[in-house]
Chains A and B, each alone.
Chain A
Amino acid sequence: MLRDASNDKPLVELVNVTKIYPPDVVAVEDVSLRIYKGEILYLTGMSGAGKTTLIKLICRLETPTRGLIEVAGRDLSQISTAGIQRMRQKIGVAYQEFRLLDKQTVLQNIAMAMEVTYASTKAIRARVDELLSLLNLSDKRDKLAGELSRGEQQRVALARAAANGPSLLLADEPTGNLDPAATELVINLFRHLNEKNGSTIVVATHDESIYAETEHRVMALSNGQLSALPNHAPRQIELFEA
């Protein structure tokens, strides 16, 4: 779902955002970025470029040293605790280090995301089964997460992020441990969410193969600074005119 976004209000807006980790690690520097509803945005960059930091800033796991971040029109620095909790229920995040509970089953891990929204057990079961079959993990449903391979864990983390049909999905290095076949499944999941659900998706990756043929925007981070990738810059101009 590629939208002409020029008139829309962005779902996520970063204005001159800088993140400095104490004492003086500049992870993100003066980044301005608008992410529009329904788009898929690829964030690339070398290791240490600041991709993960940018994602953590958007879901307010980190707070910016300078600059403004708005999600759905709300300034994250002004939002209440309850507001952040509500927001996080609508943002699915697949963390680079997965953050699964090793001693719980795949089902339990994915269910947690829906339980916090008080979804019914029946709805949870149906959704988990659907996601697992999309990611080719159906036979792993009752296995402990800690006993899975890295690639399987990675897909469980994605399933958890996608469980609530989030309006915004942030996927940090979602294919780092996957073979081409599994990568294909993940890309299909993104497409599915984006088209069926209208989810906005941000993918941080240095796996060129997943954005090589995309018609979506690809932005590159380098030493904390953002620029559009030359051959993937369909909307770069519109982006910086604001």
Chain B
Amino acid sequence: MHFLAYILRQTGKNLRQTWGTQVMTLLTVTLSVLIFAFFFLVYTNMLRASTRLGDDVRLIVYLDQEIPASTRPELEKKIRGFGPVEKIVFVSRAEAFARLSTQLGKEKDVLNDLGPDFLPPSIEVYPLKNLGDLTKISQFSDFLLTLPHAAKVQSGSDWLRRFGYFTNLLQVVVLLSGSLLIISMTFIVSYTLRLTVLSRQGELEILRLLGATSAYIRLPLLLEGMLQGLLGSGLGLAALYILYQWIANRFSGPGFLSLFDFAFFPPEITTAILLAGVLLCTAGSLFSIRRFIRI
């Protein structure tokens, strides 16, 4: 079958004829994949981190009087009415005192002078640990303050909320760089292909006269787009991996990154990005072929 050999040879010819532009296109595709994949990587890591934040995500409502067991279910229902909650714990004065004294251990003597009444009763609310709720924590705590007998609400650590906001911001960045990726790939690739078509205008015209089939004329151009997509996203991901390795080595040990347990994409995501790159570039070349080639 000489068919494949011809298509491949023609593709090679096209690439050689416009190689300067081809390199620029490849770089553009690589760069946009790199930018997108970078933000996406940070984002997915933050997402994973947020699910492991643990007890820090806790709201404590201090009360000015004990809540009798009989009214607890009603209160609980009210809290759950506001948003998804993992669990709610009612802590009475006595329980709070007992907890503190076990925490103090040997030094619990300091409590002797104080009666069990000095600690206020409280309700501990554990919201579901997902990002949407992290950013809603301040609203949640405002709400909790309106509960009967609520005196004060202590809402976890402030940085948690910031973390939530930051991750949301990152989500926007990921979406933006994703759109940039789509635009750059389809447009740049279709533009480059237009150059290929123009540089071969005379040849294409003759091929038409000689009865070249649509496949003979179009497949090499389609292949060109696919190659750009495959090479571009491959290089982009490889660059990101090198960057990731560098960062991981640089900041290994205890610290920010170990907190997040920074990890590279699993193979499925890598494959998906690669495929998306090929698909987008192929779409770009299809667009050009339909537009500029008349059979």
Contacts and interface: CB of A to CB of B under 8 A. Distances in A.
A113 interface: yes
Residue of B1, B3, B202, B209 with most partner-chain A CB within 10 A: B209
B202 A89 contact: no
A240 interface: no
A89 B214 CA distance: 13
B176 interface: no
A168 to B, nearest CB: 12
B2 interface: yes
Contacts of A59: 209
Interface in A68-103: 81-82, 84-91, 93, 95, 99, 101
B90 interface: no
A89 B206 CA distance: 12
Given A59-B209, A85-B212, 6 more contacts: A85-B214, A86-B211, A88-B209, A93-B209, A99-B209, A116-B207
A70 B3 CA distance: 30
A85 B2 contact: no
Q: B-side binding surface: helix, strand, loop or mixed?
A: helix
Interface in B211-240: 211-214, 216
Contacts of A88: 209-211
B64 interface: no
A61 B209 contact: yes
A81 B214 contact: yes
24 contacts: A81-B214, A81-B295, A84-B211, A85-B211, A85-B213, A89-B210, A91-B211, A93-B209, A101-B202, A101-B203, A101-B206, A112-B203, A112-B207, A113-B210, A115-B6, A116-B210, A116-B211, A116-B212, A116-B213, A116-B216, A118-B1, A118-B2, A118-B3, A120-B2
A82 B213 contact: yes
Interface in B1-15: 1-3, 6
Contacts of A84: 211
Contact of B210 (A112, A118, A119, A120): A112
Interface residues on B, range: 10 to 19
Contacts of A115: 6
A18 B104 CA distance: 109
Interface string B192-216: 0000000000110111011111101
Nearest to B9: A115
Contacts of A82: 213-214
Q: Which 6 A-B pairs have the closest CB atoms?
A: A88-B211, A89-B211, A116-B212, A118-B2, A85-B211, A113-B210
Contacts of A101: 202-203, 206
Nearest to B211: A88
Nearest to B203: A101
Given A81-B214, A82-B213, A112 B206 contact: yes
Nearest to A93: B209
A79 to B, nearest CB: 12
Interface string A121-157: 0000000000000000000000000000000000000
B159 to A, nearest CB: 65
Contacts of A90: 211
Contacts of B211: 84-91, 116-117
A99 B207 CA distance: 11
A84 B6 CA distance: 21
Contacts of B214: 81-82, 85
